[in-house]
């Protein structure tokens, strides 16, 4: 159960000038010190495994304090939402199987007895396309586990454009947390339009004032040149009269 979390800087620092800068959608730390990395990937699934492993490794390495014990380091969990499967899943006969799997959990395991070697690493891949397909085929979300049901409702909000039965989305929005998030997103979208209109108006005012300032400066320069020319003419006439 998550009691509270702190959203941290989503940037993973580069170790050298040539290194790539990793940017996460959300980087959070739970009460027990566990780091959660959340990424949304709509494209480029071919390199996603390597990218998520790299992000996990760098975050896990950063979280170890100087002089701290390796065994005391909390785990780092990556959750990647994908718009499609990473690659066809192969069974023992090297044939494709269960390619509509919604959730894939990857950990470090013993290859002989398949026991978990360490809980330091968890990579969760959520196939949003497979989820939407399953919901459309069932025309509902029926999950007995409460936490999994809530997660499925959140997923339905994320994939609402692909879900045919909009009643499912309406039912999900009956959850207070989801309703608040959707309302905030709607306000943010409206605010974005308002901010864009405000920025355009500010730009218009800026360029108008700049044009007036430039014109005023040109007129002042022209006046100064006229004053100088007038003084030179007066001096010339004074010399001629003398």
Q: What pLDDT does residue 17 have?
A: 43
Domain-terminating residue out of 138, 158, 178: 138
The rounded distance, in Å, linking the Cα atoms of 117 and 124 is: 17
How do residues 73-91 score in pLDDT, each as one tens digit? 889 999 999 888 766 555 5
Does residue 197 surpass a pLDDT of 90?
Answer: no
**Residue 80: domain span:** 5-138
95, 115, 138 — which closes off a domain? 138
CB 9 within 8 A of CB 58: no
155 inside domain: no
Q: Given pLDDT bands bounded at 50, 70 and 90, which one contains residue 131?
A: very high
Report residue 122's pLDDT band, with 50, 70 and 90 as the boundaries. Answer: very high
CA 13 – CA 58 distance, rounded (Å):
9
Structural domain contains residue 183: no
Please state, in angstroms and rounded to a whole number, the distance separating the CA atoms of residues 13 and 62: 9
The answer to whether residues 130 and 225 belong to one domain is no
- Does 110 reside within a domain? yes
The CA-CA-CA angle for residues 54, 154, 151, to 5°, reads 75
> Would 143 be classed as within a structural domain?
no
**85 located within any domain:** yes
Half-sphere exposure of residue 29, counting CA atoms within 13 Å on the CB side? 12
Looking at the fold, whether 198 and 122 belong to one and the same domain comes out as no
CA distances from 204 to 120, 194, 209, 213 (A): 54, 15, 9, 14
134 shares its domain with 195: no
Least confident interval from 82-96, 107-121, 169-183: 82-96
Would you say how long the chain is, in residues? 242
Identify whether the C-beta of residue 105 lies closer than 8 Å to the C-beta of residue 133: no
* 201 and 123 both lie in a single domain: no
pLDDT band at 14 (very low <50, low <70, confident <90, very high): very low
Structurally, how many domains does the chain consist of?
Answer: 2
Per the prediction, the chain carries an average pLDDT of: 78
Clarify whether residues 121 and 10 are in a common domain. Answer: yes
In the block, residue with structure tokens 């968890």 = 122
Going by the DSSP 8-state scheme, the letter that residue 144 receives in this structure is: S
> What pTM value is reported for the model?
0.65
What is the predicted pLDDT for the residue at 20? 47
- Looking at the domain assignment, is residue 181 inside a domain? no
Question: Domain boundary residue among 104, 123, 138?
Answer: 138
Instruction: Dump the DSSP string for 69-105.
Output: -GGGPPPEEEEEEESS-SSPPB-TTS-B--TT-SEEE
């Amino acid at each position: 159960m998550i009691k509270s979390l702190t959203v941290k800087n989503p940037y993973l620092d580069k170790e050298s000038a040539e290194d790539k800068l990793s940017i996460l959608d959300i980087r959070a730390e739970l009460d027990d010190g566990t780091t959660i990395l959340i990424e949304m990937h709509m494209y480029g699934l071919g390199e996603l495994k390597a990218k998520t492993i790299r992000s996990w490794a760098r975050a896990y390495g950063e979280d170890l304090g100087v002089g701290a014990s390796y065994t005391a380091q909390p785990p780092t969990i990556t959750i990647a939402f994908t718009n499609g499967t990473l690659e066809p899943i192969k069974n023992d006969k090297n044939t494709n199987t269960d390619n509509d799997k919604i959730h894939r959990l990857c950990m470090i395991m013993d290859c002989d007895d398949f026991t978990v070697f360490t809980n330091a690493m968890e990579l969760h891949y959520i196939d949003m396309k497979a989820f939407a397909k399953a919901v459309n085929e069932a025309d509902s979300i029926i999950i007995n586990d409460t936490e999994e049901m809530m997660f499925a409702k959140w997923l339905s909000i994320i994939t609402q454009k692909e879900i045919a039965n909009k009643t499912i989305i309406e039912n999900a929005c009956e959850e207070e947390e989801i309703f608040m998030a959707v309302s905030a997103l709607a306000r943010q979208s409206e605010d974005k339009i308002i901010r864009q209109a405000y920025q355009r108006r500010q730009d218009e005012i800026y360029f108008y004032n700049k044009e007036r300032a430039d014109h005023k400066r040109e007129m002042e320069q022209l006046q100064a040149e006229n004053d100088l020319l007038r003084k030179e003419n007066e001096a010339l006439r004074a010399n001629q009269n003398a």
